[in-house]
Amino acid sequence: NKVAKVLSLSLCLAVSAAAATMAQAKTFKVAVGDAAGGTQHELGKKFNEVLQEKTGGKHDAKLFLNGQLGSEQDTVNDASIGTLDFSILAINNVTPFSPSVGVLTLPYMIQSLDDAITLTQGEVGQQLVENTLRDAGVRIIGWAYSGFRVLTNSKHAVTTPEDLSDVVVRVPKNAIMIDTYKAWGINPTPMAWSETFTALQQGVVDGQDNPYITVYAMKFDEVQNHVTNLRYLFSIEPLIVSEAVFQEQSPEDQQAILEAGQAATEHSAKWLVEQEARIKQELAEKGMQIADPANGEQEWIDLATSKVWPKYFDSIGGKDVLNNVLKTLGRDEI
């Protein structure tokens, strides 16, 4: 009898311990701006996989693709007030909430995947994580690397800035990008990402820019036929967590979240290298006509850097911050 009592007591304890663990188990909601098959999706899948591994299956992450949880900029607000757990979105849609992040979206600042990795995973990135936390109440815990944003349009080949004169181009609601197109001589149309496919389809706008992998995942080839290989903006897409949600987690779970974010970041860089050329080729096979900018892109570069950079010295934190970034990339200071 004594044995039976001890057994039933231990059973009770085991059941309540399991119940306590289950009670804490959580499926985090992750907003994803892009469709399946893009770099954001790939980052999110890896994050979920590693999070499950690191928490022994206690926590997982459910991805809501295609802007189902709102426009990318709205998801920053939602995460900031704690009504959304995580979001994966393009860095240009974070800048309005934390202007210093704009240093990553200055035209022609990031010139390669290596530059993107150096900036996001080193001291510059750490400072930007802290600034975003302070300004927007969200913590960047991972980065997707998506490649250069190429320009697509449905009108005609574009190789010089003058060719843009009759093309209505959608841009994110990002002041630096709006000013970049102004430097190239046109007034672009700022619009939320979640509205872009329909606007292209209905001819409200003629063109937009995004990386090859995003163009492919979003099926833009169905509504766009010309591509210009611009290299003005290397797209980086952070995974952010609501700081309010992060602070509710135990130290072990916080660690698991951070490690899953880091593992997903490393995976993203490899995945871009493996996929980008193949996807570009597929888009060409689907009929997209791909052109390089004229004269090694020099006119695009000169206009954008001379007119846009000086306007943003202050908002990114001053010329010293900019020079520190240039130094980190091994470039001449200005």
The binding site for ligand MLT (CB under 6 A) comprises 33-34, 72, 89-90, 92-93, 172, 193, 210, 214
CB of 55 to ligand MLT, least distance (A): 28
* Residue at 148: amino acid letter: F
Q: What are phi and psi of 234, to 5 degrees?
A: -85, 120
Measured from the CB atom, is 178 or 326 closer to ligand MLT? 178
CA distance 81 to 202: 35
Cα Rg, the chain, nearest whole Å:
22
- Start-to-end CA span in the chain (Å): 84
CB of 66 to ligand MLT, least distance (A): 11
Token pair of 174 as six digits: 């990002």
CB of 280 to ligand MLT, least distance (A): 16
Count other C-beta atoms under 10 Å from residue 326's C-beta.
Answer: 15
CB of 191 to ligand MLT, least distance (A): 8
Measured from the CB atom, is 177 or 256 closer to ligand MLT? 177
Q: Is 173 helix (H, G, I), strand (E, B) or coil?
A: coil
Measured from the CB atom, is 210 or 268 closer to ligand MLT? 210
Measured from the CB atom, is 117 or 177 closer to ligand MLT? 177
Tell me the pairing of strands 138-153 and 207-211: antiparallel
Closest residue by Cα to residue 224 from 168, 308, 278: 168
CB of 249 to ligand MLT, least distance (A): 26
Measured from the CB atom, is 89 or 241 closer to ligand MLT? 89
Q: Which residue is nearest to ligand MLT (CB)?
A: 90
Cα separation values, 54 from 19, 102, 152, 243, Å: 20, 33, 41, 20
Measured from the CB atom, is 92 or 189 closer to ligand MLT? 92
Token pair of 208 as six digits: 């937009």
Measured from the CB atom, is 59 or 261 closer to ligand MLT? 261
Q: Is 232 helix (H, G, I), strand (E, B) or coil?
A: coil
Token pair of 206 as six digits: 């003629």
